[in-house]
């Protein structure tokens, strides 16, 4: 469907009426609902309300009425984003003792179980039909949720199940392969042939295929349930889900948790957006935050991300119960840090044109006059600038490759540096960047703007992918950075020598090695940890990337908007694009002139986040 203005909403597991009322008073008009019948990862109920799914074909949707009535009493006229709980109620999970219906921790098994699928389809249909019959004029989006923490995680580690085995045999034969009879055992699923890091397409072909089957199963399930929603809802409504965390998942999960087929999900007309929390690994003061999903992959398809802001503030309630305390060290320590963090997340979502909701998980996240004033200003800025067409100012692209990722040993420590570590170091480049998937390159209408292109995992290079590189990337004087082993998998075999063919530099060369390739520069770094922030800044400067600041500060920019997050210092020095004469800091309204040298020395009290509108 055609893109509407991005949502800016509030979400909570609870129904804190005072907070809901405050959000309504400062101009917010959208809230996320989650009528649930399941428990969370700590075993406590997701919802404060009774369950909606009581038995086979027995539902209590008056719970939905009660939630909406309570919220509407505090926030009249509010609109809704509706999460749909597709995880198994305890009774359904326990009833099917001969086949798996444990969707929370064993999603990949349950998805093949007809004794789970049939009643869940009926529940979904009944739920959506009920909501549409009563609240169609107020519901803006539906979000089918399943798997661990409702994020479509499969934590079964590929283990055996009769229904999964039957589906695997059918899938394998449909690929033109012999009947495998059994699921590959753990010794085969976890086997690694090269350097403890990569599988071999010769020795490990069946394991690679099996992991692809597991990931496709999750993606297909998402699309199956999305199609059911679309078949019922004939009016314009958005459908989204949590999925695609290739930038965050690492040890024990990157390949096995089912999130690698996000391109297929985004390609489907039934899906409008993907949801993910801001990264858990770079959210403290000074960090750049960031998405778990490649934003560029959504953007080139005309889709959006929904940026879930669940960063723990200085006032957040960490108690799920008197006995369960989820206090974390990454919580923002005081009111000033909370304000700076909220401004950072709002600026990131605004500039990247995402949906966004403030996630008040167990309450008390958003307390105090300054915090609410910041959220109110974010609402005003969202109304003025949200979703406006603008040219991305990024000149640096990070490219991930889900196809190559199937060959990666997810238990190797280097996995943490492959995508997650590279993204977090780019957060400190002092310039904006965008993240794409390999196959997005020809779909990006203005790829020529990128001066520095970083391939984190271009291990599988087919003739088609090489032709794509030659046409779109290896030219125009840009710098291309290859990490670990570009093209090391060739035509069904491991071929380390091919790395030199594509990059001009031998595989396993030490340090940062660069070579002039005529109309482009090739840089090879075998060890992910050697791609430091200092190295990135040096490569970017030499490639002609506009660096907005020398400090290792996160920078976001698009169109006439520029945001900078600083954890230290009292003056932020910025080099602005040519022709910029004045800036207005949008959170404060403060105006400043740009020096004759094109620089701005902006006095501030850190930590802080500044969102500038540039004036030429």
**How confident is the model over 554-609, as pLDDT tens digits?**
999 999 999 999 999 999 999 999 999 999 999 999 999 999 999 999 999 999 99
What's the pLDDT score for residue 1?
A: 57
Residue 3 predicted with pLDDT over 90: no
Rounded mean pLDDT, 114-137: 98
Pick the CATH number of 396-543 from 3.30.70.100, 3.50.50.60, 3.40.50.880, 3.40.50.2000: 3.40.50.880
One fold for both 8-161+214-385 and 396-543? no
The pair of three-digit structure tokens given for residue 579, joined into one six-digit string: 């022709």
CA–CA separation, 562 vs 343, rounded Å?
13
Q: Cα 223 vs. chain centroid, distance in angstroms?
A: 18
What's the pLDDT score for residue 2?
A: 61
Read off the pLDDT of residues 175-233 as tens digits, 9 standing for 90 and up. Answer: 999 999 999 999 999 999 999 999 999 999 999 999 999 999 999 999 999 999 999 99
Read off the pLDDT of residues 221-265 as tens digits, 9 standing for 90 and up. Answer: 999 999 999 999 999 999 999 999 999 999 999 999 999 999 999
Mean pLDDT (the chain, rounded): 97
Read off the pLDDT of residues 310-363 as tens digits, 9 standing for 90 and up. Answer: 999 999 999 999 999 999 999 999 999 999 999 999 999 999 999 999 999 999
Q: What spatial distance separates the first Cα and last Cα of the chain, rounded to whole Å? A: 35
Which architecture characterizes domain 8-161+214-385 according to CATH?
A: Alpha-Beta Barrel (3.20)
- Given a contact cutoff of 8 angstroms between Cβ atoms, the answer to whether 605 and 570 are in contact is yes
Residue 412 predicted with pLDDT over 80: yes
- Given a contact cutoff of 8 angstroms between Cβ atoms, the answer to whether 561 and 350 are in contact is yes
Specify burial of residue 174 (Cβ count, 10 A radius: 0-12, 13-18, 19+): exposed
What's the pLDDT score for residue 342?
A: 98
Residue 466 predicted with pLDDT over 60: yes
CA–CA separation, 209 vs 273, rounded Å?
28
Strand order in the sheet with 521-525: 433-437, 396-400, 452-455, 479-483, 521-525, 512-516
| Banded model confidence at residue 97, pLDDT cuts 50, 70, 90 | confident
CA–CA separation, 350 vs 562, rounded Å?
10
Q: What percent of the chain has pLDDT over 70?
A: 100
What's the pLDDT score for residue 390?
A: 86
Residue 49 predicted with pLDDT over 90: yes
| Structural domain boundaries in the chain | 8-161+214-385, 396-543, 568-615
Q: What percent of the chain has pLDDT over 90?
A: 97
Residue 4 predicted with pLDDT over 80: no
What's the pLDDT score for residue 98?
A: 80
């Amino acid at each position: 469907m055609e893109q509407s203005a991005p949502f800016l909403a509030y979400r909570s597991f609870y129904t804190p009426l005072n907070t809901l009322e405050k959000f309504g008073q400062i101009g917010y008009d959208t809230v996320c609902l989650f009528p649930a019948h399941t428990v969370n990862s700590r075993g406590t109920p997701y919802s404060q309300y009774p369950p909606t799914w009581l038995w086979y074909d027995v539902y209590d949707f008056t719970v939905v009425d009660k939630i909406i009535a309570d919220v509407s009493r505090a926030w009249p006229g509010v609109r809704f984003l509706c999460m749909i709980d597709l995880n198994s109620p305890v009774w359904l999970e326990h009833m099917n003792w001969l086949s798996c219906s444990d969707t929370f921790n064993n999603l990949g098994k349950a998805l093949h179980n007809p004794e789970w699928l049939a009643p869940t389809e009926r529940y979904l249909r009944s739920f959506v039909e009920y909501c549409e019959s009563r609240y169609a004029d107020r519901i803006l989006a539906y979000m089918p949720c399943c798997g661990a923490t409702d994020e479509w995680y499969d934590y079964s580690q590929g283990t055996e199940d009769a229904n999964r085995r039957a589906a695997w045999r059918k899938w394998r034969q449909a690929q033109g392969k012999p009947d495998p009879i059994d699921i590959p055992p753990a010794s085969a699923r976890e086997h690694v042939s090269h350097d403890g890091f990569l599988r071999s397409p010769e020795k490990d072909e069946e394991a690679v295929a099996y992991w692809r089957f597991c990931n496709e199963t999750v993606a297909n399930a998402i699309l199956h349930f999305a199609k059911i929603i679309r078949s019922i809802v004939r009016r314009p409504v958005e459908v989204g889900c949590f999925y695609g965390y290739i930038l965050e998942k690492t040890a024990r999960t990157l390949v096995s948790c089912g999130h690698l087929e996000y391109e297929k999900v985004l390609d489907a007309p039934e899906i409008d957006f993907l949801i993910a929390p801001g990264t858990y690994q770079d959210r403290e003061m000074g960090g750049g935050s960031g998405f778990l999903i490649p934003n560029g992959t959504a953007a080139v398809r005309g889709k959006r991300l929904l940026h879930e802001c669940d960063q723990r503030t200085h006032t957040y309630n960490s108690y799920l119960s008197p006995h369960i305390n989820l206090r974390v060290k990454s919580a923002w320590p005081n009111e000033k840090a909370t304000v700076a963090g909220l401004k950072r997340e709002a600026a990131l979502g605004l500039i990247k044109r995402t949906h966004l909701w403030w996630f008040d998980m167990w309450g008390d996240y958003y307390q105090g006059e300054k915090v609410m004033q910041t959220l109110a200003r974010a609402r005003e800025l969202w109304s003025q600038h949200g979703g406006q067409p603008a040219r991305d100012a990024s000149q640096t692209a990070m490219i991930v490759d889900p196809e190559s990722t199937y060959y990666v040993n997810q238990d190797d420590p280097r996995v943490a540096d492959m995508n997650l570590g590279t993204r977090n170091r780019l957060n400190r480049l002092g310039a904006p960047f965008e993240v794409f998937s390999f196959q997005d390159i020809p779909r990006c209408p203005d790829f020529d703007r990128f001066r520095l292109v970083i391939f984190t995992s271009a291990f599988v290079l087919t003739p088609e992918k090489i032709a794509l590189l030659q046409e779109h990337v290896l030219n125009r004087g840009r710098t291309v950075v290859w990490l670990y082993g570009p093209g090391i998998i060739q035509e069904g075999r491991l071929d380390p020598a091919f790395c030199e063919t594509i990059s001009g530099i031998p595989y396993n060369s030490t340090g940062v090695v660069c070579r002039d390739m005529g109309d482009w520069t090739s840089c090879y770094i075998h060890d992910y940890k050697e791609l430091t922030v200092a190295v990135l800044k040096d490569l970017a400067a030499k490639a002609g990337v506009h660096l907005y600041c020398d400090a290792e500060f996160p920078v976001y920019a698009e169109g006439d908007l520029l945001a900078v997050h600083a954890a230290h210092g009292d003056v932020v020095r910025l080099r602005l694009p040519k022709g910029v004469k004045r800036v207005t800091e949008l959170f404060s309204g403060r105006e400043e002139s740009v020096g004759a040298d094109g620089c701005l020395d902006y006095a501030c009290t850190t930590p802080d986040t500044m969102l500038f509108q540039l004036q030429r």
